Structure 1
Amino acid sequence: MSEKLFSKEEIEILSNNKYVKNVSEKGITYTDEFKRLFIAENEKGKFPRDIFSECGFDINIIGLKRIRSSGSRWRSA
């Protein structure tokens, strides 16, 4: 789990993304649709950072470490 906590403003920004099911100061729960889309695009050779960015996520808010660990977790599931 990431040590970065989200601010109220960041939580509000993330909550407005259609691929976010829930967000707290400690973590993000993504929709199953996003997880499937992520895996499909990643298998085509797209980088995790690019997939998140194209789906409307601010990379600076989420952080690369969290993106990498999410992608790794979903691929192994």
Structure 2
Amino acid sequence: MSRQPINESIRRLLEGNPNVLHVTDKTIQYSPEFKLSAVKAYQEGKTPYEIFLEAGLDPRQIGTDIPKQSLKRWRKSYDALGEEGLLSERRGRGSTGRPVTRNLSAEEQLKKAQAKIKYLEAELELLKKLEAAERRLRK
């Protein structure tokens, strides 16, 4: 089920809120500080609905399920990455990011290379079987 587009009057109202960074027709980008304070307030026992209302964000205007969904996402990020997970922009980088190879020991690099070789060998075998099956079908 898709959300209703955010109308212009609500968009202007939201853009005036210090807890909101940016608003489009369908999305609201909240400030990192708000995300962090919301997660901490939730840990203290407040409901997502209460947290958003106190921040000047009426769930009836933005969608009644938005506070709960947002808090769930932010808590997951906070649990995995701590405060930095909420204070830094992570879009497009995945939830944990790629491991940095320059910090791996020689033994870890060797294991990683061996795993890659094993994967590539399996891929090559699969391609050989596929070619053989295609040749049989052409005959």
TM-score by length of 1: 0.93
- The residue identity in structure 2 corresponding to 1:59 is P
- Contact conserved, 1:10 with 1:61, CA < 8 A, in 2? yes
Deviations 1:15-51 (A, max 9, x none): 0100001001101000000000000000000000000
Report the counterpart of residue 68 of structure 1 in structure 2: 68
Aligned residues: 77
The 1:25/1:74 distance shift into structure 2, 3 A limit, reads same
Larger Rg: 2
Report the counterpart of residue 48 of structure 2 in structure 1: 48
Counterparts of residues 1-20 of structure 1 (less than 5 Å) = 2-20=2-20
RMSD: 1.3
The 3-state SS of whatever aligns with 1:64 is: coil
CA distance in 1, matches of 2:4, 2:72: 19
Paired-residue identity, %: 34
**Greater relative contact order (Cα 8 A, min sep 6): structure 1 or 2?**
1
- The residue identity in structure 2 corresponding to 1:61 is Q
Structure 1: any 5+ residue segments left out of the alignment? Answer: none
